Amino acid sequence: MPIKRILSASAFALASIVTSSAFAHAKLQSSDPQAGSTLDAAPKQVRLKFNEALEPAFSKIKVTGPQNNEIPVIATTVDKADPTVMTAPLPALSAGEYHIQWSTMTHDGHKVKGEVTFKVK
């Protein structure tokens, strides 16, 4: 195989890898409470872990509960020691189904959002 062909193929492969990672969006890796879980006791906070660092100014958590009523979330914070983690304290929750709706922006400017649902017995 001619050297030009090898170099061209290598350059193309490298460009594909760099381009793919440049266009990647933040993905939720884990949540506490876990998605789909049923808890015996109400959680005291929401903790979301992502695969990329988050922009604190554009990161928020909204929680809705039974009858779709909004649960007051005092503050959403991005952990300074680990900017891939977003948390929010929760007030006392009663039994029912809850939806954590989150939105954030990564350092590269991509906005993402999602939802996690859990239940309290």
Domains of the chain: 26-120 (2.60.40.1220)
Q: What does the alpha-carbon distance between residue 1 and residue 13 come to, in Å, rounded to a whole number?
A: 17
Q: Is the dihedral of CA 85, 91, 96, 102 positive or negative?
A: negative
Please determine, for residue 50, whether its predicted confidence score (pLDDT) is greater than 90.
yes
CA 75 vs CA 12, 20, 55, 72: distances in Å: 45, 34, 15, 9
Pairing label, strands 60-64, 77-78: unpaired
Residue 17: count other Cβ atoms within 10 Å of its Cβ: 10
Per-residue pLDDT reduced to its tens digit, 19-47 = 444 456 789 999 999 999 999 999 999 99
Q: What is the pTM of this model?
A: 0.79
